[in-house]
Amino acid sequence: MKAGDAAAFEALLDRYHGPLLRVALGYVRDREAAEDAVQETWLRVVAGLDRFEGRSSLKTWIFGILLNVARSRRRRDRRLLPFSALFRRDEPGSEPIVDPDRFNAEGRWTSLPDNWEVLPEARLMSREVLDRVGAAIGELPPTLREVILLRDVAGWSAEEAASLLGISAANQRVRLHRARGHVRRVLEEYLR
């Protein structure tokens, strides 16, 4: 690919463009901004390919560029504060992962989590539910959002995500658990 092989670059686009877009959507305010972030990522990949040293996989390098671009855009967009944000009182990630009232003194469930297997698949996979999941992920602090986007949206392994984010495997598991707990809580409230 360093030799300017257009077919190799096209194969990279086919393989990673969709996953890059899904991860970018977790960082920026809308699809247009995510597409811009992905386009900027590809431009940086092309411009920096001769400097790629192979210390990580090409996939990790490309997604690392995306994370830098998306984080930068998110910081820039955050400077523009919507009026509704002035009245937000809760901070995602500050509440317990599972409501403590659901456990008794011995730590056993007093009310089991909802069984989503009994819900019709059409309802579970509806656009509205997917939008709720996206909104729940968007509410997460960046450290939790990054892990759930890489693991559950882009399909990365635990090792790949930890390596890209520069965190330990244990820290990656904790962040993923907290992120999934928040998303599950939002879905449980919605699906009741």
Could you check whether 6-78 and 94-191 share the same CATH topology? no
Domain 94-191 sits in CATH at 1.10.10.10
Calculate the average pLDDT of the chain: 82
- pLDDT digit string (tens) for 80-133? 545 444 444 455 555 666 677 777 777 677 776 666 666 666 665 677 888 888
Q: b vs e for 35-63, b when ≥16 Cβ sit within 10 Å of the residue's Cβ?
A: bebbebbbeebeeeeeeeeeeeeebebbb
Domain 6-78 sits in CATH at 1.10.1740.10
More confident residue, 102 or 42: 42
Predicted structure pTM score: 0.60
- Listed by start position, the domains of the chain span 6-78, 94-191
